[in-house]
């Protein structure tokens, strides 16, 4: 059986440089490397996206999001499948079955839930349950590799736990994705990626950050992105060192440089280690990000909506076939069929 690599990005608002470097670009690089031997599933988690307010029209956002992968260099072929989650009803159906084996305790421990809801009673149930939907997204297709940023690792571990629990209780049904440690290795990294907020580098760069210079959007003009990087918070040590605990701002810039240029972090550290020039490093990173955005934004124009809709038509056909077969197996195992 061919292995599957799978990922998705919510489309409730525009993508940040964090989404791009943490998930989109790693997926594109893996797909280009492995799509001759693996299935590659790139799906739009549109049902996930409505857990928070949606900017713009969700149907157009779905189309646009796929253009982002193509503009980032994805080479399309018949082993790469594009689909929208809401067009494959099995995702919602498997979620229900998995809900019945997930425990309240493990769900309440999800950091993303705590952060997104502040654990308020008024927060919606979708925010609480979305890790189970994510598990369904992965398990329906037997995905082994799920390239995501570090903030999603807890959900991968939950997916593994739910798959193992189901298999133990009802018999071998699901492929268990590899551990987050192995996911990181598969991405060719030493640790998970967590791009930081430029103004408050102890936090991750997030779509919802309010600070004007906190995040870079992929739609930012390259000049604006340069300004944001030049105003990034650093520290008062005055010496460039890669150390996220003590020097998150500088380490974030080094990490961005490494990912944008696809050069090992060790090389970037070697270039800059112990140099005192924070301003020089910022200029270097700003230039790399400026080039990235200029190239990326030009390429985004190259793809028509019709082309993406054709990719969805093929992909959704495929996805429904695979997902329905797995769902049927699950229903048989729990005696619903
Ligand atoms: P979402 O939409 O919040 O984020 C999309 C992807 O971007 C990564 N990411 C980051 N990586 C590094 N640094 C950052 N600052 C940063 N911000 C975001 C996220 O880790 C993610 O990989 N539940 C998921 C979407 C999803 C999914 C799935 C992913 C639903 N089902 C199945 C994989 C497989 C989410 O909300 O990601």
Pocket test for ligand 1, best of 23, 48, 107 (most atoms within 8 A of CB): 23
Spans of the chain below 50 pLDDT: none
Domains and CATH numbers, the chain: 4-188+304-333 (3.40.50.620), 212-300 (1.10.240.10)
Give the model confidence (pLDDT) of 328-337 as tens digits.
Answer: 999 999 999 9
**CA dist., res. 305 & res. 25, Å (int):** 21
The pLDDT of residue 118: 86
The pLDDT of residue 119: 82
Pseudo-torsion of CA 11, 13, 17, 19, nearest 10°? -30
Pocket test for ligand 1, best of 5, 7, 9, 144 (most atoms within 8 A of CB): 9
The pLDDT of residue 151: 97
**CA dist., res. 255 & res. 244, Å (int):** 10
Please say if 204 is a catalytic residue: yes
Q: Chain-centre distance of CA 7, in angstroms?
A: 7
The pLDDT of residue 273: 85
Q: How close is the Cα of 337 to the center of ligand 1, in Å?
A: 34
The pLDDT of residue 274: 75
Its pTM stands at: 0.97
Please say if 116 is a catalytic residue: yes
Give the model confidence (pLDDT) of 227-260 as tens digits.
Answer: 999 999 999 998 899 999 999 999 999 999 999 9
Ligand 1 near 192 CB (within 6 A) = no
């Amino acid at each position: 059986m061919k292995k599957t690599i799978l990922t998705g990005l919510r489309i409730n608002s525009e993508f940040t440089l964090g989404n791009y470097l943490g998930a989109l670009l790693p997926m594109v690089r893996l797909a280009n490397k492995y799509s001759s031997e693996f299935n590659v599933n790139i799906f739009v988690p549109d049902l996930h996206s409505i857990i928070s307010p949606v900017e713009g029209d969700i149907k157009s956002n779905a189309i646009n999001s796929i253009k982002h992968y193509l503009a980032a260099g994805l080479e399309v072929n018949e082993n790469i499948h594009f689909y929208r989650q809401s067009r494959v009803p099995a995702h919602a159906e498997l979620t229900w079955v998995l809900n019945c084996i997930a425990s309240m305790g493990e769900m309440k421990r999800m950091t993303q839930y705590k952060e997104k809801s502040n654990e308020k009673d008024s927060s919606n149930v979708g925010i609480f349950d979305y890790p189970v939907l994510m598990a369904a997204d992965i398990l329906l297709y037997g995905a082994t590799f799920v390239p995501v940023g570090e903030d999603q690792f807890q959900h991968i571990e939950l997916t593994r736990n739910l798959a193992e629990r189901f298999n133990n209780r009802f018999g071998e049904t699901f492929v268990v994705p590899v551990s987050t440690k192995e996911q990181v290795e598969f991405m060719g990294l030493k640790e998970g990626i967590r791009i930081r907020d430029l103004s408050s580098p102890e936090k991750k760069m997030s779509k919802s950050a309010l600070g004007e210079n906190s995040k870079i959007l992929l739609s930012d003009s390259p000049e604006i992105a340069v300004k944001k990087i030049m105003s990034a918070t650093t520290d008062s040590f005055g010496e460039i060192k890669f150390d996220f605990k003590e020097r998150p701002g500088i380490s974030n810039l080094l990490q961005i440089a490494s990912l944008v240029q696809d050069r090992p972090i060790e090389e970037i550290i070697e270039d800059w280690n112990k140099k005192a020039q924070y301003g020089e490093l910022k200029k270097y990173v700003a230039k790399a990000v400026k080039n990235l955005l200029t190239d990326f934004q030009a390429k985004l124009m190259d793809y028509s909506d019709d082309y993406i809709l054709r990719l969805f038509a093929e992909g959704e056909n495929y996805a429904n076939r695979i997902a329905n077969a797995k769902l049927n197996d699950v229903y048989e195992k729990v005696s619903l069929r």
